[in-house]
Amino acid sequence: MSVVSTVNPAAADYTVLDEDVPRPGKLLACAGLAWLASAAVVLAWPDAQEVARTGLLGTLAAGLGGLLLLSWALGWISSRLARVGHWAPWLAVLAVTLAVWETLTAKLDLLPLPFFASPQAFLEVYTDDYPRLLDCLYHSVLLLGKGYLLGSAVGFVSGVALGWSTRIGYWVHPVLRLIGPLPATAWIPLAFFVFPSSASASVFLIALATWFPTTVLTWSGVASVQTAYYDVARTLGASERFLVLKVAIPAALPHVFVGLFMGLGSSFAVLVVAEMLGVKSGLGWYLQWSQGWAAYANMYADLFIMALMCSTMITLLFRLRDHMLAWQKGMVQW
């Protein structure tokens, strides 16, 4: 069987080493077989619990197993597919986890209901309640987006102003020191009373949670710029505006992104709390609602979507950082 190589040895008369050519690992085939075995457990073993969607779950597991085996086989031809092998250990562990979870719940009914839902119940939430979940996801993203963008924009501007101007620093610094460390959730009673709608109050709270870390880190970034950078730019004829926009801000960007990252983490916390209290649709609201009905499978399904949403947002932020800080060495890869 021939291996397609992405390395061209003729270019510099170098020998291509084995590690230069990605090959599909045996573990990928093992992962595929593990998923097929899990599918067999799901489909062949009769359910002890009263559950729906067993057929769908088994089919999905078998489908994934088949896909992994196909990737392994095609990996001998395509080096790109061979790289799927990186995730093989994880995929194998997940297949085993599914089989154990299925056995303990649906098959043997060893774990108490409704706290420990079966994989089928988990799947059923997505197949039956997806319109409501999608609506909640949309509202959460909208609310988080508005609050986070507002908070980070204000935080960035106030951070730059604090770091650059001693006059602005004189007025803003005491406010920042007093109000900033207060958790945004402490403002909940006041915010829902002062703002005309619960949605605007939630936006304010998320913005407040984002504002503090963004401001402090941007400020610290601008304040820590080497004075030699300013000296060089000044001797070359730079104006004050140029010094702020083309020296202080780019130099402070690594700090700014740490602030934006911390602000995003705080905004997630406030989003969930604010949604539990003040809105009629959102992932936080869904969590509260499903707990009220003791629908634990719905809660887990909601938590999973929430985790995906938060992780996606952090990934997007890191992508933006990687793009804007391409000049920096040794960055943490998300």
Q: In this complex, which beta carbon is closest to other proteins, that of residue 69 or of residue 325? A: 325
323 binds other proteins (CB under 8 A): no
Q: How many residues bind other proteins (CB under 8 A)?
A: 23
Task: Identify residues 168-227 at the interface with other proteins (CB under 8 A).
Answer: 226
167 binds other proteins (CB under 8 A): no
Q: Contact at 8 Å (CB) between 305 and 126?
A: no
Minimum Å gap between C-beta 70 and other proteins is: 41
Of 199, 162, 202, 200, nearest in space to 180 by CA: 162
What three-state secondary structure class fits 92? helix
Among 168, 251, 276, 303, binds other proteins (CB under 8 A): 251
Minimum Å gap between C-beta 163 and other proteins is: 17
242 binds other proteins (CB under 8 A): yes
233 binds other proteins (CB under 8 A): yes
238 binds other proteins (CB under 8 A): yes
Q: Contact at 8 Å (CB) between 282 and 136?
A: yes
Q: In this complex, which beta carbon is closest to other proteins, that of residue 70 or of residue 232? A: 232
Q: In this complex, which beta carbon is closest to other proteins, that of residue 154 or of residue 325? A: 325
Minimum Å gap between C-beta 231 and other proteins is: 5
Alpha-helical segments (H) within the chain: 26-44, 54-74, 79-82, 88-102, 119-128, 130-164, 166-179, 188-194, 198-223, 227-235, 240-242, 249-278, 283-292, 296-324
236 binds other proteins (CB under 8 A): yes
116 binds other proteins (CB under 8 A): no
The count of other CB atoms within 10 Å of the CB of residue 168 is 14
∠ CA 170-172-173, nearest 5°, is 70
232 binds other proteins (CB under 8 A): yes
231 binds other proteins (CB under 8 A): yes
Q: Contact at 8 Å (CB) between 148 and 207?
A: yes
Among 196, 329, 332, 333, binds other proteins (CB under 8 A): 329
* DSSP tag of 282: S
Q: Please compute Rg for the chain using Cα positions.
A: 26
Question: What does the binding site for other proteins look like in residue numbers (CB under 8 A)?
Answer: 226, 228-229, 231-239, 242, 246-247, 250-251, 253, 325-329
